[in-house]
Chains A and B, each alone.
Chain A
Amino acid sequence: DVQMTQSPSYLAASPGESVSISCKASKSINTYLAWYQEKPGKTSNLLIYSGSTLQSGTPSRFSGSGSGTDFTLTIRSLEPEDFAVYYCQQHNEYPLTFGSGTKLEIK
């Protein structure tokens, strides 16, 4: 199985700041990496797939980069609604696997 190591597990930032979340795969997954946002009381939201392709409706302040084993989610100029939990997921092969999550909180 492809192990996904996500860091940090917790991140505190202020609105307007930029943050980055890392996701590392235990072997190459090409560019097949997705990012999700999870908020209490709401359905999980696909933000990015194939490493850097924004899902329809994802604000342009979100960006994804990377290939092979190292990937990054960057959120520029944080908005209040961005404070949530973020997960990465490799979509290169079965079994599909997720990172352990990053909780982004308001500083």
Chain B
Amino acid sequence: EVQLVESGGGLVQPGRSMKLSCAASGFTFSDYDMAWVRQAPTKGLEWVATISYDGSSTYYRDSVKGRFTISRDIAKSTLYLQMNSLRSEDTATYYCTTTALYYFDYWGQGVMVTVSS
């Protein structure tokens, strides 16, 4: 059974940093592209970033480019999202997903990130 378990969220002040992790199990992590998708309170879903199966390629939405970094540790079957210079508009639940052909086939339960002073 595919399992994606996010961690690392919480309350952070504007301008500070936070790193999210996603522990993957139940599939061969090194075979899959991975992504982060977020959902702000009472809002819809928003794609954040994607990383290729081997980590060689990354893609970001414009609003996080230069501030967020997606990465993966294949040995640990773990996906990361390093978030710097956080803004109030980054407040959201962040979901870790597997991605195939640019759609999202398995999702985690999500982790909440609140950016507030």
Total number of residue pairs linking A and B with CB closer than 8 Å: 52
| Contact A44 B107, beta carbon cutoff 8 Å | yes
Complex: A15 Cα to B61 Cα, angstroms? 39
Whether B105 sits at the interface, judged by CB under 8 Å, is yes
Which one, B10-18, B40-48, B81-89, is touching chain A? B40-48
Q: Which residues of B contact A91 (CB under 8 A)?
A: 101-103
Q: Is A22 an interface residue (CB 8 A)?
A: no
Q: For the side of the interface on B, what is the size category? A: 10 to 19
- For the complex, give the distance between the alpha carbons of A89 and B50 in Å: 15
**Interface secondary structure of B, over-half rule:** strand
User: What is the distance, in angstroms, from B41's C-beta to the closest C-beta of chain A?
Assistant: 14
Which residues on the A side are within 8 Å of B109 (C-beta)? 43
State whether A32 touches B44 (Cβ < 8 A): no
Q: How far is the CA of A98 from the CA of B50 in the complex (A)?
A: 15
Q: Is A94 in contact with B105, judged by CB distance below 8 angstroms?
A: no
Inter-chain contacts of B55 with A (CB < 8 A): none
A62 sits at the interface (CB 8 A) = no
**Interface flag for A7 (CB, 8 Å):** no
**13 further A-B pairs in the complex, CB-CB below 8 A; given A43-B4, A49-B103, A101-B45:** A32-B102, A34-B104, A43-B109, A44-B95, A45-B107, A49-B105, A89-B103, A91-B101, A93-B102, A94-B50, A96-B50, A97-B47, A98-B46
* Chain B positions near chain A (C-beta within 8 angstroms): 4, 44-47, 50, 59, 61-62, 95, 101-109
